Amino acid sequence: MSEFDHAFANARALLLQRRYEEAERAYEAAVALEPTNLDGQFMLAKLRYMRGDPRFARDLAATAARNRDNPALQQQFASVLRLTGDLAGAELLLRDLIARHGAIPAYRSVLASVLHEMNRLDEARTEALAAANAQPDNLHFQETFVSILLSLGQAETALPLVREIRRHVPGEHIWIAHEATAARLIGDAAYGELYDYDRFVRAYDLEPPPGWRTAAEFNAELAARLNQRHELLRQPFDQSMRAGTQTIGSLCDDEDPVIQAALRAFLAPIAEYRADLGAGGPHPLLSGNYGDARLSTCWSVRLGQEGHHVNHIHPDGWLSSAYYVTVPEETAEATTRFGWIQFGEPRTPVPGAGPAHDVQPRVGRLVLFPSYMWHGTTAIHGPNARMTMAFDVVMAR
């Protein structure tokens, strides 16, 4: 193990122990050993961001400025700028990268994504198409191109491309999501088959685990334990939440008895969901319903004022979830639906593909849904937090 690898592993261990000041110092030590290491720079910037440092990317910015002939480092810096909302800065870096090193497909594809988020769709399509044509077997480039086609309303062009790719990667969640969106726009029956909200999105109001008299009593204690783990100030910049925080590591590994009681309480509704769902056939959800279910990872999210989740999928799960530990009073209003979980709307705006289904959050409610289904939340506007536990289910074959 190199000196960098040792320092990086040490930083990771300190982060998982929630020793954030020491972890930051350890990441700084790792970056000092290898300033151009992409993982080191990314994790240092990310931790500083979560700790509320306004100059979170200072080491990355300085190193990128000293190494303008290092394309990977420039692309990494552009990625961090994009993830933290500086789209103009990301575009400037990427255009400089292309000017200095040529119109390499990888650079054009990333630029296309930035332009897409800036709603400059015609420019985005030009860049994405060039990258996809240059490397037609690169599924990441193809996915960027397809998502832009959908935002342009060109579902008839996108759907055959999506279906051809799904023949080769039938279980890849992003392509299932894109097929559902494209099918929805042109009235294809596949939309209802893949996104059967009434059948596939299920809500369970859980009874308190053994040892607690009421659900309210249990969730109040669970909230106290989780709040102890929400010590950071901002969300990870590479996750779906905005104006919130997320716990570090998997709560599956947390030995706290209250957290473990919650994890055990999730097993019965998962089993009920599977039994009601059935199995078999080529359907991507039903065909995966065999073997022993297990929680692959679990985390908690606490959203503050204006907090919400942008629309996303979970690429590594079979079934995904939201369990409501605390909810603000405003979620009770069915006309405004602040803080509700919603389904069917893609990550970037697509005309005609807004939210198609939603579920009201309640303390003690668990919502289960396919990991490939687009989902996000409306924002909460008051000062009281909305806190959840979430997990992905996979099958042990």
pLDDT tens digits, 279-296: 988 999 999 999 999 999
pLDDT at 338 over 90: yes
Q: What is the DSSP string of 223-270?
A: HHHHHTT--SSS--TTSSEEEEEE-SS-GGG---HHHHHHHHHTHHHH
Question: pLDDT tens, 104-152?
Answer: 999 999 999 999 999 999 999 999 999 999 999 999 999 999 999 999 9
Task: Report which DSSP code applies to 332.
Answer: G
pLDDT at 158 over 90: yes
Percentage of the chain surpassing pLDDT 90? 99
Question: pLDDT tens, 32-43?
Answer: 999 999 999 999
Q: How confident is the model at residue 77 (pLDDT cuts 50, 70, 90)?
A: very high
Which pLDDT does position 1 carry in this prediction? 83
Dihedral of alpha carbons 282, 283, 288, 290, sign: negative
CATH topology assigned to domain 197-396: Jelly Rolls (2.60.120)
Query: Which residues have C-beta within 8 Å of that of residue 320, sequence separation ≥ 6?
Result: 314, 368, 369, 370, 371, 373, 375, 390, 391, 392, 393
Question: pLDDT tens, 209-238?
Answer: 999 999 999 999 999 999 999 999 999 999
Q: How confident is the model at residue 53 (pLDDT cuts 50, 70, 90)?
A: very high
Mean pLDDT score of the chain, rounded to an integer? 97
pTM, two decimal places: 0.96
Distance CA 285, CA 337 (A): 28
Percentage of the chain surpassing pLDDT 70? 100
Question: pLDDT tens, 11-29?
Answer: 999 999 999 999 999 999 9
CATH placement of domain 3-193 = 1.25.40.10
Tell me how far CA of residue 226 lies from CA of 176, 199, 223, in angstroms.
Answer: 33, 31, 5
DSSP strand pairing (365-370 vs 319-326): antiparallel
pLDDT at 274 over 90: yes
Query: Which residues have C-beta within 8 Å of that of residue 141, sequence separation ≥ 6?
Result: 105, 106, 109, 128, 131, 132, 134, 135
Distance CA 397, CA 394 (A): 9
Which pLDDT does position 280 carry in this prediction? 86
Find the mean pLDDT for residues 244-259: 98
Find the mean pLDDT for residues 263-289: 96
Dihedral of alpha carbons 191, 192, 198, 201, sign: negative
Distance CA 73, CA 75 (A): 5
pLDDT at 396 over 90: no
Tell me how far CA of residue 370 lies from CA of 215, 285, 322, in angstroms.
Answer: 26, 7, 12
Which pLDDT does position 397 carry in this prediction? 66
Give CATH 1.25.40.10 domain extents, the chain. 3-193
The answer to whether 48 touches 24, Cβ cutoff 8 Å, is yes
Distance CA 179, CA 158 (A): 9
